[in-house]
Each structure stands twice: as structure tokens, then as C-alpha cells.
Amino acid sequence: MEMQEIQQTLHQYSQELLAEYHSPRTRSKLNIPLTAEEQAKEGLISKNVEVVPTIRSIQSSDDGEYLIDTDMTVNVSLDADSDTVIYVNGKRTDHLDQSWTSTHIMEFAHVGRQRGYSIISDKVIDEQDPPEYADASDELPTEDKTPASLDENGALESEALNKAQTYAFGGQLRRSKLY
């Protein structure tokens, strides 16, 4: 049941990101690098926009909160307006597919008497610019030394979680396998 509630919260959050993409003059903590309005100024019309959350790993705390490492990917197809021509690799095309992903470390908790989870904090991790994390250890403070993921990015995933935990959340967390 918990995994279903977490997925539902992520879906609601992705819908908020999608609404932000379409809202003029919106720039909030949700981290949409370009809005539809900004792309329209460049002569590009947004079509088929979607926001896809992908859970990389989950950690739970003793008080029922979760620290969730998630990639939020925005996919959009862009058509040229009548005054714009799109070239890709020197060839003219009628549309351009665009995608960007940002890594979010989100803390989920039950708030008050509401059902489901709320996102009580969201830290966007920029792997290219981590100076405030320079002193963070590469290991999670737990007896379980298994990486958060066993794929080729496993070390980066564990490092990102640890940096976020050390920098933003400060608490002791343990891993939980929900999926």
C-alpha cells in the first residue's frame, strides 16, 4: 500500500510540473528549465508534453517518512511556427523532440490526518555543481553497505542520496525495499 501511495504522490507532483510548464511567467521550486511561453518566443510550439517520474531508490526512517531519489523527465515535441525553420544536423525538419531530466531528492511524510503522503521537502541535485557537498561521505550511515542500485550508476545514486541526506535532511535513515 505504501508504494502505491508514494507512486500516487509522485504522479500528482508530475502533474504540477506539467502545469508549471504551461503557465506563463512561472518559475518555482519545481525546476522547469524552460516554459512553453519561453519556447514560443523562440518560434516553437509545444505539443505532446509529458512529465515522467522514475524512482531511483527509496529510504525510510523510523518515523514513517521516506527519502526518495527520483528522476523527473520532461518530454516535449516542438513544432515550428510559420516564421521559424528547424534544422537538425543540417537538415530541415518540421518538429524537434526535446527532453530533460532533473534528479530530485524528496522527503515524503504523512501530514496531519490526510490520507497519502505529502512532499515536505524537495532538493534538486545538480551533479555538475556540487561544491556544498564537498565534505559529504560516500557511504550511507547504516550497517547495510549494499549500494542503492546495482546498475552502472549505483555509486552515483548512493552518493547523491548521501549528499542530500547530509546537506538537507540530517537524519539517520535506513533502506527500505518497497519495489
In the chain, how many domains are there? 1
Range of the domain at 118: 2-128
User: What's the confidence (pLDDT) of residue 151?
Assistant: 38
Kindly state whether residue 73 falls inside one of the protein's structural domains.
Answer: yes
Kindly state whether residue 48 falls inside one of the protein's structural domains.
Answer: yes
Kindly state whether residue 138 falls inside one of the protein's structural domains.
Answer: no
| pLDDT tens by residue, 38-87 | 777 878 888 888 999 999 999 998 888 899 999 999 898 888 888 888 88
Question: What DSSP letter does each residue of the chain carry, written as one string?
Answer: -HHHHHHHHHHHHHHHHHHHHHSTT---TT--SS-HHHHHHTTEEEEEEEEEEEEEEEEE-TTS-EEEEEEEEEEEEEEE-TT--EEETTEEESEEEEEEEEEEEEEEE--TT-SS-EEEEEEEE-TT--GGGTT--SS-SSS----S--STTHHHHHHHHHHHIIIII----EE----
Kindly state whether residue 139 falls inside one of the protein's structural domains.
Answer: no
Kindly state whether residue 71 falls inside one of the protein's structural domains.
Answer: yes
pTM score of the predicted model: 0.61
Kindly state whether residue 32 falls inside one of the protein's structural domains.
Answer: yes
Kindly state whether residue 116 falls inside one of the protein's structural domains.
Answer: yes
Kindly state whether residue 52 falls inside one of the protein's structural domains.
Answer: yes
